[in-house]
Amino acid sequence: MSENWRVFDYMRKYNYENLYICNDISTGLRAVIAIHDTTLGPAAGGCRMWTYSNEWEAIEDALRLARGMTYKYAAAGVNLGGGKAVIIGDPKKDKTEAILRALGRFIDRLGGIYYTGEDVGTTLKDMEAIYAETRFVITLPEYLGGAGPIAPATAIGVILGMKVAAKKFFGSENLGGLKIGVQGLGAVGSEVVKLLSSEDVELFVTDIDKDKVDYILKNYDAKYVDPEEIYSIEMDIFCPCALGGILNSSTIPKLKCKIVAGSANNQLKEEKDGYEIEKKGILYVPDYIINAGGTIYDTYRLFNPPHNHEKAMGKVYKVKDNVEMVLEIAEKEKIPTFLAADRLAERRIEEAAKAKNIRKRGALE
């Protein structure tokens, strides 16, 4: 990304609303807040802290991630728009309470058009510092009125999505007897394993962290697979719960699974990989549809305060409908599932825009 990059052209191309550059000399904060689309509601999206090599890279990242959030919320059926904040700096060396609080003051100044949360380089603890300056924070610990950890809700959504995909591919949503490989045994992956252990499946697990693998093997009936081998084993469902970009030109040819259904964000390295996986006859459940359970759970309290665990969990079952709709759109329109996910999001935004126009016309008449 260079200084020749034309920010207004980019914003016009993808229909962005605002871009805020935040500079606070006393704390050293340099941050960018991007607001993509607020048709459905105020923009929301996490705060990333990263060592960008130049400020254009930070601006582009904020814009790109904000647009992703618009699609994620819209497809999930959550009435929020897409936004993102990025702080330029090394989270290990440069992060201070003062910097986070300075960002909190900038967010507060926006008056509720943008809600922040955790992302790469920031933690739930950091959200407490931001929350000291603004109430426009989504991910918060329970003792501050938030929903607390969201991975269990994300994992429930993943299992629901797997069942919809199994019904489509095998004719039954019963996972019993299927071979399922879980990549990554962190917050979400370990919960997925826990939930699958009561479904009588044959489980294969992998992680680069030996302690996490040991914990799972000690507590569940699962077989360990080397991290590099997970792609090529014969399995019915591959469940990526580790890194992004794992569906790419070197892994897709190895895959022997029938379905890919997991929580990892940005699983397709490039758009062409979405077509490649389709060509192989593998049913790919789009990442941002199947991994929205945590988001749905987390944001429920914004519309129905205060946080209520049971009610928020009840909403997570929406993931099932969303996955069903995406698979239906893909079949009807003969398009790959990753494009069908975008269609679902775009339709929901278009519907909301129409509804707003109707109200506006009504007010003028």
Of 84, 168, 258, 315, which residue is the catalytic one? 84
Taking the least distance from each CB to ligand NAD, the nearer of 19 and 151 is: 151
Strand partners, 33: 20, 85
Taking the least distance from each CB to ligand NAD, the nearer of 72 and 95 is: 72
237 and 261 Cβ atoms separated by less than 8 Å: yes
Minimum Å gap between C-beta 99 and ligand NAD is 23
Q: What 3-state DSSP class applies to 154? A: helix
Q: What are the DSSP calls for 24-41, one per residue?
A: ETTTTEEEEEEEEE-SSS
Minimum Å gap between C-beta 312 and ligand NAD is 13
203 and 196 Cβ atoms separated by less than 8 Å: yes
Strands 43-44 and 81-88: parallel
20-28, 159-167, 242-250, 349-357 -> range binding ligand NAD (CB under 6 A): 242-250
Q: Examine residue 263 and tell whether it contacts ligand NAD (CB under 6 A).
A: yes
Q: Examine residue 7 and tell whether it contacts ligand NAD (CB under 6 A).
A: no
Footprint of ligand NAD on residues 20-49 (CB under 6 A)?
none
Can you tell me the distance from the alpha carbon of 95 to that of 66, in angstroms, rounded to the nearest whole number? Answer: 22
Binds ligand NAD by CB under 6 A, chosen from 241, 277, 316, 327: 241
Strands 18-24 and 29-37: antiparallel
Footprint of ligand NAD on residues 180-239 (CB under 6 A)?
183-189, 206-209, 212, 227
Taking the least distance from each CB to ligand NAD, the nearer of 207 and 276 is: 207
211 and 199 Cβ atoms separated by less than 8 Å: no
Taking the least distance from each CB to ligand NAD, the nearer of 209 and 270 is: 209
Q: Examine residue 150 and tell whether it contacts ligand NAD (CB under 6 A).
A: yes
Q: Examine residue 265 and tell whether it contacts ligand NAD (CB under 6 A).
A: yes
Q: Examine residue 261 and tell whether it contacts ligand NAD (CB under 6 A).
A: no
Can you tell me the distance from the alpha carbon of 61 to that of 19, in angstroms, rounded to the nearest whole number? Answer: 12
86 and 69 Cβ atoms separated by less than 8 Å: no
Q: At what angle do helices 293-303 and 318-333 cross, to 10 degrees?
A: 120
Q: Which helix (H) or strand (E) holds 204?
A: strand 202-206
Q: Examine residue 68 and tell whether it contacts ligand NAD (CB under 6 A).
A: no
Binds ligand NAD by CB under 6 A, chosen from 75, 182, 264, 283: 264
E strand map for 250-300: 259-260, 283-284
Minimum Å gap between C-beta 213 and ligand NAD is 9
Is 84 in the active site?
Answer: yes
Taking the least distance from each CB to ligand NAD, the nearer of 29 and 344 is: 344
Longest Cα–Cα distance in the chain:
69
Active site residues: 84
Which residues contact ligand NAD by CB under 6 A?
150-151, 154, 183-189, 206-209, 212, 227, 241-244, 263-265, 291, 294
